[in-house]
Amino acid sequence: MLKRPIPTEAMPVVEVLRRDVPRPDALPTPRLIVAGSAATLLRWGGDNCPEQCPMGLHPLARVATPSNQHHFPPCNDSEITAFYHWFDCETDPEAVMDAIWPPLALVLPGNARP
């Protein structure tokens, strides 16, 4: 279950992800991330590839965990910040995956993925 819905300001990031990034086959997994302070965050990858947040899965992302428009050109800084503040507070991998990339049964007309 999501702790809170995706903020309206973060929706441009979600729309870009839905349009350009196929729904991953695997759920993100909790990873201990140490950057200033330690936190357990949901990420894809690991082992032989960098740990990525959803924006890092986008082909235009310049880093695995974008934090500004220079790292994730499709969106502006405030949209990116709103998205990663929401995503990094979430702990349920399945709920996050379904919120960003709804299962095909939940996709409504006008919100279809390619």
| Domain map (residue ranges) of the chain | 11-18+30-101
- Does residue 110 carry a pLDDT above 80? no
How is the chain classified by DSSP, letter by letter? --SSPPPGGGHHHHHHHHHHSPPPSS--EEEEEEESEEEEEEEEEETTEEEE-GGGGSTT-SSSS--STTTSTTS-HHHHHHHHHHHTT---HHHHHHHHS--GGGPPTTS---
Mean pLDDT of 2-6: 97
The pLDDT of residue 105: 56
The pLDDT of residue 33: 77
5-46 confidence digits (pLDDT tens): 999 999 999 999 999 999 999 999 998 877 777 789 999 986
Average pLDDT, rounded, for the chain: 88
Mean pLDDT of 49-72: 90
The pLDDT of residue 107: 53
The pLDDT of residue 19: 96
Q: What pTM was computed for the model?
A: 0.85
